[in-house]
């Protein structure tokens, strides 16, 4: 399966600042997704990153807070804007390699702490 690299692997940020997380895949993939994993909670889908167009956001997540880019078939970014302590979480990128109903594969995530 594709090798997925996320940067940074972890960061500690100040309240009110923004952080951009990168997801790089070593081969072209059909779909890319961004998830949030909070302690004791299920993995939650934030949005689907669409190549060349606006991302598709899940209920409870908005573009102003989590802007996403996907300029090509191997790269995407997620920005967490105007951060507050409630944004402290693990953010994960996942990809779908083929078409039809295929399983998703995940990167190792970005561990984000907001002071």
Residues that bind another protein (CB under 8 A): 1, 4, 40-43, 45, 58, 92, 101, 103-109, 111
Cα–Cα distance measured from residue 8 to residue 22, given in angstroms and rounded to the nearest whole number: 7
Query: Toward another protein, which CB reaches closer, 10 or 15?
Result: 10
Q: What is the CA radius of gyration of the chain?
A: 13
Q: In this complex, which beta carbon is closest to another protein, that of residue 49 or of residue 92?
A: 92
To another protein, the closest distance from the beta carbon of 31 in angstroms equals: 11
Residue closer to another protein by CB (options 65, 111) is 111
Contact 34, 6 (CB under 8 A): no
Do residues 31 and 98 lie in contact, with contact meaning Cβ atoms separated by under 8 Å? no
């Amino acid at each position: 399966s594709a090798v997925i690299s996320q940067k940074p692997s972890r960061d500690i940020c100040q309240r009110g600042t923004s952080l951009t997380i990168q997801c790089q895949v070593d081969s072209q993939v059909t779909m890319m997704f961004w998830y949030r994993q909070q302690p004791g909670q299920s993995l939650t889908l934030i949005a689907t990153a669409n190549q060349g167009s606006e991302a598709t956001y899940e209920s409870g997540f908005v573009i102003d807070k989590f802007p996403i880019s996907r300029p090509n078939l191997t790269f995407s970014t997620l920005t967490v804007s105007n951060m507050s302590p409630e944004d402290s979480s693990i953010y994960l990128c996942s990809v779908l390699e083929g078409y039809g109903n295929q399983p998703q594969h995940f990167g190792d995530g970005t561990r984000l702490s907001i002071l």
